[in-house]
Amino acid sequence: MNAPVRPPRVNVALAVNGRAVAVEVEPRTHLADALREELNLAGTHLGCEHGVCGACTVLLDGEPARACLSFAAACEGADVTTIEGLDDDEIATELRAAFTREHALQCGFCTPGMIVAARDLVLRLPEPDERRIRLGLAGNLCRCTGYVGIVRAIQSVISARRARGLGPTAGERGLGPVGARTGSSGASAQSAATAETTVAQAPASAEIPADFRPAHSLDQSFEVGFPPDQVFAFFGRVEEVAACLPGAVVTSVPSPERVEGGMRVKLGPISATFRGAADVRRDEAARAGRIRGAGADGRSGAQGEVRYRVNAGSTPGSSQVNLTVGYALKGPLAQFGRPGLVRDVAARLVAEFAANLEARLAGRPAGADAAAPALNPLRLAFDLARGRIAAWLRRVARKGDASTPRS
């Protein structure tokens, strides 16, 4: 039998926390694994390894960077600072005290990455502006605290330092970890100012690219208890369709083929309002249609299309609606591109949409979720997870009942 082929290893020379080190790694090894496994610096946490959660944030040549997205071999000669290297750092020390005082951590898993990102904000922001801090933390997720304590802790450190005459020492080029930046300093500053705009204040509509190809796509289907012709006709009334979708707003319908409006999305500390336009196509004979749109909010942008087809359902007088949803996201909200999360959220969103559609077709107002102020993917994912856990517990309880001998 042939001996297993060992992948080649490369030597990488780095300065880590001010010390020259050399590590031998496979070319595919990311910086976080090199730090944790070769150098025993386990303060750099790994949550998603997809660049989503920010738990692995370190300073790479002085800038916050995702260690899970940086190949160690590509960091040859770089200056790396991990949370351990900030033990004696003045700002990190003030942040640690503020995090304790403001209850800015619970399990602490996100905290090393948060401190690294927060330190960068303290260095850059002239004032303790809550919106700009929240935008700056857009690439660092915390599943415990709700962010209020974290934001307060950072605000208190910035306020105290500015009161002592210690101004920002780094330029305001971009906020947030490397990877969340998509534009120049001007664009970033502008996006910070417009992070929580309303539909009315949102930037001009984004154009729908003719050659749009979705980066991700998923299929969903559901049944409603109304005949296909009635359901297909409903899909032609876009304001009513939008009213079934949490966070969607239609502002005008200049023609049957064009709709203008927006979508409010809330993901952790990020709150964005995409304003844009959609192109609507319908094929009456096939009872099918396509809605393709694009929207933007500062640094975040979204392009997407929904293809639908209404067929006869499994029972007389019912319909099956088949949806194919394709989309591409850029900017801070691109963290929502993680396929598992997107699939869970899409399943929940489609379930809410179907319930609201059914209610409207029956002449009842859509449910409370349709009136929600924003599409909240994390809430939808958590709701779905809670539902699954509850169903599992019910199954376990039923099994327990069945196996308990009757007296």
Q: Report the C-alpha gap between 326 and 313 in whole angstroms.
A: 24
| CA-based nearest residue to 305, from 333, 328, 325, 335 | 325
CB of 278 to ligand FES, least distance (A): 32
Mention every residue, 6+ apart, whose C-beta is less than 8 A from residue 293. 208, 259, 276, 277, 278, 279, 303, 304, 305
Written as one letter, the residue type at 216 is H
Length of the chain: 407
CB of 113 to ligand FES, least distance (A): 8
b/e per residue 222-234 (b: at least 16 CB within 10 A): bbbebbbeebbeb
CB of 153 to ligand FES, least distance (A): 12
Separation in Å, CA 3 to CA 6, 8, 244: 9, 15, 60
Query: CA geometry: angle at 160 spanning 156 and 163, to 5°?
Result: 140
Among the residue ranges 2-10, 136-144, 242-250, 365-373, the one whose residues contact ligand FES (CB under 6 A): 136-144
Asked if residue 378 binds ligand FES (CB under 6 A), the reply is no
Residue closer to ligand FES by CB (options 140, 155) is 140
CB of 351 to ligand FES, least distance (A): 28
CB of 53 to ligand FES, least distance (A): 4
CB of 111 to ligand FES, least distance (A): 6
# chain residues binding ligand FES, by CB under 6 A: 22
Residue closer to ligand FES by CB (options 55, 248) is 55
Question: Binding ligand FES by CB under 6 A: which of 144, 160, 323, 347?
Answer: 144
Among the residue ranges 116-124, 125-133, 138-146, 321-329, the one whose residues contact ligand FES (CB under 6 A): 138-146
| CA-based nearest residue to 298, from 273, 317, 326 | 273
Written as one letter, the residue type at 360 is R
CB of 18 to ligand FES, least distance (A): 23
CB of 268 to ligand FES, least distance (A): 11
Asked if residue 332 binds ligand FES (CB under 6 A), the reply is no
- Alpha-carbon torsion angle 31, 32, 34, 36, nearest 10: 160
Residue closer to ligand FES by CB (options 47, 214) is 47
Asked if residue 145 binds ligand FES (CB under 6 A), the reply is yes
Question: Binding ligand FES by CB under 6 A: which of 55, 98, 157, 248?
Answer: 55
| CA-based nearest residue to 138, from 333, 341, 328 | 333
Q: Are 302 and 294 in contact (CB under 8 A)?
A: yes
Written as one letter, the residue type at 243 is A
Among the residue ranges 142-150, 260-268, 336-344, 393-401, the one whose residues contact ligand FES (CB under 6 A): 142-150
Question: Binding ligand FES by CB under 6 A: which of 10, 15, 47, 258?
Answer: 47
- Of 59-118, which residues contact ligand FES (CB under 6 A)? 66, 68, 105-110
Chain center to CA of 389: 23
b/e per residue 260-273 (b: at least 16 CB within 10 A): bbbbbbbbbbbbbb
Asked if residue 51 binds ligand FES (CB under 6 A), the reply is yes
Asked if residue 54 binds ligand FES (CB under 6 A), the reply is yes
Residues lying near ligand FES in the complex (CB under 6 A): 46-49, 51-56, 66, 68, 105-110, 142-145
